[in-house]
Amino acid sequence: MKKIRLCTVVILMMSACSDDFLKLAPQTNLTSSTFYKTESHFDLALVGVYSQLRGIVSPGHYMDEMRSDNTFFQYYAPNRGPANWVEDIIQWTDQSQTTVVNNRYFSDYQGISRGNTILARLEGSDLSAEAKARISGETLFLRAFFYFDLVTHYGGVPLYLEQVTDEASAYQSRSTVEEVYGQIIRDLDAAIPSLPVASVFPQTGRATQGAAKMLLARAYMSMPQRDYAKAESALRDITNMNYQLMEEYIACFRPANKNNRESIFEVQYMEGDDGQQSSFIYDMLPKTSNTSVATGVAVNNVTLGGWNVPDEDLIASFEANDKRLKSSVKIIEGTLNGGGIYTDPITYIAIREIGGYTPEAGKVYFPFIAKFLHGPYGKPLNTGQNWPVFRYADALLLLAESLVMQGKNADALPFVNAVRKRAGLAGLTEATVDNVLLERRHELAFENHRWTDLIRNGKALEVMSVYGAEKKKQYSFLPAASFDVNEKKLIYAIPFRETQINPQLEQNPGY
């Protein structure tokens, strides 16, 4: 199977009729009549669907990590323009038109639209039955993935299941949350038989049965009427596949180990000059005029950086000798150019280990997310770091959660303790909702799971109310209206532009 290369694919989907309709296009041009003919054509179009996964990675930093109690941000007083629209998410002030929130919504629907076009053209194609099944399986998995991302962040959304070919089909009202989950499950049930079981590592980066069953389990555990038994069944299937925990925690995130035996699904990136690189580590580093101490190349990230800063409470919550902490968080030590911690970027001096660090006089320090820093890099803002979506450790802990929710606490213990053993920790003697959730917080820190974990377990309002009160005591720059934690804000606003274009589309309450 070919390995995914997320290149830019431009496909002419529809041609308008005109007096020039008899003019033939050059044979080197791709048109809707000459494309979607061969398996390679469909694979190119499928790459265009996979590429939309990148549109949820960066928004997830703000909407899933910084929205939660895992990370905060480095306040920078001179940057009151561009920063405000993401600080609104983190501070729970939620101006209804936040670019990050809008872009995630658009990325999801662009992926769905591209997938629907593939499905519409596939049935009437001359491809073999085997090729049709493979392409359909991958496409249905991706469509289910995008709808899951939408329903968990925006609530009930319009269900587009056919290629949009006219104005009438473009305007649909919102489906209920239950209807969206129903479609996600139908898509995954249809996709799973056509998807392969991962057997060779590194994998290709394409969808597999393991990825589909992981998403299926999440759907069963997140929908309004939870079905933990079905989630358990899907997750136990994953344990009988070929996945294993990597021996070393940090090895899961090294670019040299992409698509490894612990990886169930990753968003693919590649360092180089063809636009396939990632750069999110520069967002997570403290603001500086020169990142070279950390990255090996000089980048000014004064505007770009300072986001997704590990929270002090998260750091303190790790048990002593938990190997994951030093793999996940390190410290940048430096000095301030002027003297104001909120007005001056830091000049990096060195990277230090977390735990037992004592800053010297005249120096400042910032914890930062280290699990995605694997330099030195050769080009500015250009890394080959993939983004982990599903890992086997995630599956084991999700299985433990599903078992605890069914009252099978003793059955959950081996799965939690397998993850803890790799972290260098003693096994628990009891599995509960709270300690499984805490284990997920440590194991999956900074991988964009914390927010949906809190919501799924009914903890979001409780945890974030306490967290917000503490943050307002700690930081005087937070506005009085910040951390207005309420149930309506467990989902985000539908983009205003969409509600204006589509009169049938109602906004979420509270926005």
The lowest-confidence range among 169-178, 240-249, 415-424 is 169-178
Among the listed residues 181, 384, 156, the one whose alpha carbon sits nearest the alpha carbon of residue 270: 384
| End-to-end Cα separation, the chain, in angstroms | 46
Peptide bond before residue 286 is cis, with ω within 30 degrees of 0: no
Q: What is the distance between the alpha carbons of residues 152 and 402, in angstroms, rounded to a whole number?
A: 18
- Residues 142-158 have a mean pLDDT of 98
Q: Give the model confidence (pLDDT) of 382-419 as tens digits.
A: 999 999 999 999 999 999 999 999 999 999 999 999 99
- Please name every residue paired with 388 in a beta bridge, in sequence order, or none if there are none: 266
**For range 365-370, the mean pLDDT:** 96
Residues of the chain with pLDDT > 90: what percent? 84
CATH architecture assignment, domain 50-72+97-195+487-511: Alpha Horseshoe (1.25)
Predicted TM-score of the model (pTM): 0.93
CB 94 within 8 A of CB 66: no
- Per-residue confidence (pLDDT) for residue 25, from 0 to 100: 38
Other beta carbons within 10 angstroms of residue 399's beta carbon come to 24
Average pLDDT of the residues in 197-201 = 96
- Measure the CA–CA gap between 337 and 333, rounded to whole angstroms: 13
Looking at residue 17, its pLDDT comes to 34
Residues 6+ apart with CB under 8 A from 209: 192, 195, 196, 197, 198, 237, 241
DSSP for 370-428?
-TT-----SBTTBB---EEEEEHHHHHHHHHHHHHHTT-HHHHHHHHHHHHHHTT-PPP
Q: For residues 141-169, give the mean pLDDT.
A: 95
Per-residue pLDDT, averaged over 456-481, amounts to: 96
Domain parsing of the chain, residue ranges:
50-72+97-195+487-511, 280-375
pLDDT, position 20: 35
Alpha-carbon span 24 to 109, nearest angstrom: 33
Q: Which conformational region is residue 26 in: left (phi greater than 0), alpha (psi within -120 to 50 degrees), or beta?
A: beta
Q: What is the pLDDT of residue 378?
A: 95
Q: What pLDDT does residue 358 have?
A: 86
Say how many C-beta atoms besides its own lie within 10 A of residue 14's C-beta. Answer: 10
**The pLDDT of residue 12:** 29
Is residue 270 predicted with pLDDT exceeding 80? yes
pLDDT over 60 at 6, yes or no: no
- For the stretch 111-131, pLDDT in tens is 999 999 999 999 899 999 999
Q: Report which secondary-structure segment, H or E, holds 71.
A: strand 71-73
As a whole number of angstroms, the distance between CA 160 and CA 141 comes to: 15
> Of 258, 223, 256, whose CA–CA distance to 389 is shortest?
258
pLDDT, mean of residues 367-373: 97
Spatial neighbors of 80 by CB under 8 A, at least 6 apart, are none
50 membership: H or E segment, kind and range: helix 39-50
Neighbours of 307 (CB within 10 A): 26
* Structure confidence at residue 28 (pLDDT): 47
What residues contact 267, with CB distance under 8 A and at least 6 apart? 53, 54, 57, 386, 387, 389
CA distance linking residue 222 with residue 93, whole number of Å = 25
Confidence of residue 24 (pLDDT cuts 50, 70, 90): very low
Q: What is the mean pLDDT of the chain?
A: 92
Please, is 141 exposed, middle or buried when counting C-beta atoms within 10 Å of its C-beta (0-12, 13-18, 19+)?
buried
The average pLDDT across 457-471 equals: 98
Instruction: Name the helix (H) or strand (E) containing 167.
Output: helix 167-170
**What is the side-by-side order of every strand in the sheet holding 329-336?**
346-353, 329-336, 364-369
Per the listing, tokens 């905060």 go with 72
pLDDT at residue 384, rounded to an integer: 97
How much of the chain exceeds pLDDT 70, in percent?
A: 93
What is the band of 43 on the pLDDT scale with cuts at 50, 70, 90? very high
Of 41-50, 208-217, 290-299, 333-342, the one with minimum mean pLDDT is: 333-342
The predicted structure's pLDDT at residue 168? 79
User: Do residues 175 and 220 touch, judged by C-beta distance below 8 A?
Assistant: no
Identify which has the larger pLDDT, 3 or 410.
Answer: 410
Q: Is the pLDDT higher at 112 or at 96?
A: 112
pLDDT band, residue 110 (cuts 50/70/90): very high
In three-state form (DSSP H/G/I as H, E/B as E, the rest C), the secondary structure along 322-363 is: CHHHHHHEEEEEEEECCCCCCCCCEEEEEEEECCCCCCCCCC
